[in-house]
């Protein structure tokens, strides 16, 4: 007799019921074991982290540290006649006003040439005082040696040892989206760094690079400071912002470093060519027998008595002091002030001359590297 379909079905169901509990228990045990192992790994710190859990941060401190010594603060102060008042028919009262400008600059060479924007130092073209402060706190007077209104650039020169010029990058390699940093001295708060990207690259005729647009914060005081790439290299000179409020609104501009440094080299060359050397001393009377006896107790000292020296100037750096007597310049005896000027005017800034002085009964010969006497305007 054949088994019916119903009896076969019942046997299959009974078999499945018999096997279901062992299978279910086995699966449950496997899940418990897996969960236990993962918990153990988590507690021991061995569980692999996902990319989202990675807390590793990126720092640009080393990059900034390489570039920041080359970025300086420029404090320019000028004194001008603000108003005139007639106190009486034969007396006029002049009221002076002081204008101050604070900005930034970049050391381009170890021999003291600093690049900045013209609008940072344009207060200096009357009676003026310019002071440069380095990030390490050192301060020194600065001389504006040339400027170019067309490019809004100016060159300063300082006499100081141990300068760190900035490394120059290739601004032609910049692309929109590249990370950049603006280093400067905004709003008189000290050296500051802001980060952004290259927002746009503005080109002129012949596809030449004209301006770099960035969203790195540029505020008053940042003008003339450095725009550097992610290698710490100079790619631009921060120059202006586009803003309705006068405050930074995310659109800043920098002059490409290639243009700015080329302009500096041309300005320095013209300043040297158009300038005579400058010693930086004020002398009094020429010494004769009576004045020599009066000042030094002997009547044989001849030359020009130094009354003052320019702070940070060529004479001061050479070691010439007020009270010294300049007796010879380049081996020529000094008989009056014109004698000194004639020797100096035959030289160029950067030339070194021998200045012989009398001090405390001794004659000293001091090598003196001449400075710049006046600024050169680059015509557009």
| Cα distances (Å, whole numbers) of residue 57 to 49, 53, 194, 288, 379 | 15, 12, 18, 74, 50
CB of 84 within 8 A of CB of 95? yes
Residue 364 is given by DSSP the state: E
Catalytic residue among 148, 152, 215, 324: 152
Instruction: Write the burial class of residue 228 (CB in 10 Å: 0-12 exposed, 13-18 middle, 19+ buried).
Output: buried
Find the length of the chain: 380
Single out the residue of 128, 166, 125, 163 nearest to residue 147, CA to CA: 125
Catalytic residue among 109, 111, 119, 291: 119
68, 101, 104, 223: the catalytic one is 223
Q: Is 223 in the active site?
A: yes
119 is a catalytic site residue: yes
CB atoms near residue 354 (< 10 Å): 14
Report how far residue 295's alpha carbon sits from residue 292's, in angstroms, rounded to the nearest whole number.
5
- Residue 380 to residue 328: CA distance in whole angstroms: 42
Cα angle value 196/199/205 (rounded, 5°) = 135
Say how far apart CA 97 and CA 305 lie, in whole Å: 34
Angle, vertex CA 239, rays to CA 235 and CA 243, nearest 5: 125
What is the sign of the dihedral through the CA atoms of 94, 82, 131 and 111? Answer: negative
The residue with tokens 């041309």 is 266
Residue 125 token pair: 């073209």
Question: Which residues are catalytic, by number?
Answer: 119, 152, 223
């Amino acid at each position: 007799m054949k088994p019916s379909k119903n009896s076969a079905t019942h046997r299959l169901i009974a078999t499945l019921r018999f096997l279901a509990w062992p299978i279910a228990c086995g699966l449950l045990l496997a899940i418990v074991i897996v969960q236990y192992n993962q918990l153990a790994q988590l507690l021991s710190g061995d569980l692999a982290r996902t990319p989202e859990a990675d807390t590793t941060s990126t720092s640009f401190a080393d990059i900034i540290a390489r570039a920041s010594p080359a970025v300086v603060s420029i404090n320019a102060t000028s004194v001008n006649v603000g108003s005139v008042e007639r106190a009486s028919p034969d007396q006029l009262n002049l009221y002076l006003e002081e204008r101050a400008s604070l900005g930034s600059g970049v050391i381009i060479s170890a021999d003291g040439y600093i690049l900045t924007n013209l609008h940072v130092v344009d207060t200096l073209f009357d009676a003026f005082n310019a002071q440069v402060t380095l990030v390490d706190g050192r301060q020194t007077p600065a001389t504006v040696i040339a400027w170019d209104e067309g490019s809004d650039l100016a060159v300063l020169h300082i006499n100081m040892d141990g300068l760190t010029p900035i490394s120059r990058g290739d601004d032609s390699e910049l692309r929109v989206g590249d990370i950049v940093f603006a280093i400067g001295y905004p709003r008189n708060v000290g050296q500051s760094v802001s980060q952004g990207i290259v927002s746009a690259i503005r080109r002129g005729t012949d596809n030449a690079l004209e301006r770099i647009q960035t969203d790195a914060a540029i505020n008053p005081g940042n003008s003339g400071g450095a725009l550097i790439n992610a290698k710490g290299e100079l790619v631009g000179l921060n120059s202006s912002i586009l803003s309705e409020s006068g405050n930074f609104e995310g659109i800043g501009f920098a002059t490409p470093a290639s243009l700015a440094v080329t302009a500096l080299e041309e300005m320095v060359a013209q300043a040297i060519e158009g300038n005579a050397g400058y010693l930086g001393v004020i002398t009094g009377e020429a010494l004769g027998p009576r004045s020599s006896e009066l000042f030094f107790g002997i009547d044989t000292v001849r030359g020009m008595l130094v009354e003052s020296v320019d702070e940070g100037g060529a004479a001061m750096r050479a070691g010439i002091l007020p009270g010294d007597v300049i007796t010879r310049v380049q081996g020529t005896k000094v008989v009056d002030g014109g004698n000194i000027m004639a020797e100096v005017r035959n030289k160029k800034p950067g030339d070194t001359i021998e200045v012989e002085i009398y001090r405390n009964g001794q004659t000293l010969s001091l090598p003196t590297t001449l400075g710049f006497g006046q600024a050169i305007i680059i015509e557009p």
